């Protein structure tokens, strides 16, 4: 469980992020460590390509809730839930445009995707900022995907 201090720090951080302007978000993204620097300082290693995903129907509500929490912690500073670009592309409609395996690999294996995938490379050209490796596990990326599906109106 979280201590009161940890909870307050997390709440203040989320409050700050929610009040961040586009200019401040762009500046923060430019000043953030590169994916290589992040990977160097992390213990968890990603890079195993995900080949298949089993979708739930109806949505797993627990995963949607967990995915929303992960989004608010790791994704909110760069991605809006609308189709509006912030630092990275907006998420509205992403599950209608992209295959689930593509989304999971973009979350968990961003370096591999930027090296090999033409669509990921086009996004980099549009956004001009490399998505950092957030060290999201495959399990958590599946919860983010479930939240994305919910955001796109799936039931």
Domain membership of residue 97 (yes or no) is yes
Domain membership of residue 31 (yes or no) is no
What are the pLDDT digits (tens) for 34-69? Answer: 555 544 443 333 467 899 999 999 999 999 999 999
Total number of domains in the chain: 1
Give pLDDT, residue 48.
79
pTM above 0.75, yes or no: no
Give pLDDT, residue 39.
44
> How far is CA 50 from its chain centroid?
16
Domain membership of residue 9 (yes or no) is no
Domain membership of residue 11 (yes or no) is no
Give pLDDT, residue 38.
44
Give pLDDT, residue 33.
55
CATH number at residue 59: 1.10.760.10
Average pLDDT over residues 58-85: 97
Instruction: Answer positive or negative: Cα dihedral of 53, 59, 63, 64.
Output: positive
Domain membership of residue 83 (yes or no) is yes
Average pLDDT over residues 93-104: 97
Domain that residue 148 falls in = 55-155
Give pLDDT, residue 82.
98
Domain membership of residue 24 (yes or no) is no
The region of weakest confidence among 20-24, 32-36, 82-86, 124-128 is 32-36
């Amino acid at each position: 469980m979280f201590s009161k201090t940890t909870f307050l720090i997390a709440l203040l951080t989320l409050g700050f992020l929610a009040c961040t302007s586009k200019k401040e978000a762009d500046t923060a993204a430019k000043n953030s460590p590169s994916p290589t620097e992040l990977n160097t300082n992390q213990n968890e290693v990603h890079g195993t390509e995900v080949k298949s995903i089993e979708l739930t129907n109806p949505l797993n509500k627990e995963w949607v809730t967990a995915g929303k929490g992960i989004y608010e912690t790791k994704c909110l500073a760069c991605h809006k839930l609308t189709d509006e670009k912030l630092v990275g592309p907006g998420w509205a409609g992403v599950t209608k445009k992209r295959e689930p395996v593509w989304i999971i690999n973009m979350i968990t294996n961003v370096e591999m995707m930027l090296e090999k995938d033409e669509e990921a490379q086009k996004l980099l050209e549009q956004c001009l900022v490399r998505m950092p490796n957030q060290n999201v596990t495959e399990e958590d990326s599946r919860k983010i995907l479930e939240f994305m599906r919910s955001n796109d109106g799936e039931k």
